[in-house]
Amino acid sequence: MIDYQKFAPKNMSVKERRKLDVGDIFSNSATCLICNDTIRSKNRHDFQTCKCGKLSIDGGSWYPKRSFKKEHSWKDNIELYEIMGETIS
Ligand SMILES: [Zn+2]
């Protein structure tokens, strides 16, 4: 599993990102407020779970998927790419 932040910097153009299969989310991260663990999904299929197991995230640069066992027990830390734009097919 390769962390897309390693090859797709925050100011990379949409066109270049799509060539590398990278979406619009630069940092897909969330913090569990129960165990205070911050996790980040580093790839579309990189499923991460916090230390206490109450929060899981997925989706990498493409979609911010969150699964949680307790409501209001986590916060998002999403950072988008600086250059946004229409989807290029
Ligand atoms: Zn936790």
- Cα-to-centroid distance, 33 and ligand 1 (Å): 7
Q: Strands 55-58 and 29-32, how do they pair? A: unpaired
Q: What is the pLDDT along the chain (89 residues), one digit of tens a residue?
A: 799 999 999 999 999 999 999 999 999 999 999 999 999 999 999 999 999 999 999 999 999 999 999 999 999 999 999 987 665 55
Query: Across the strands, what pairs with 30?
Result: 39, 76
Q: Strands 74-76 and 29-32, how do they pair? A: antiparallel
Structure pTM? 0.90
Query: Across the strands, what pairs with 27?
Result: 79
Residues with CB under 5 A from ligand 1 (ion): 32, 34-35, 50, 52, 54
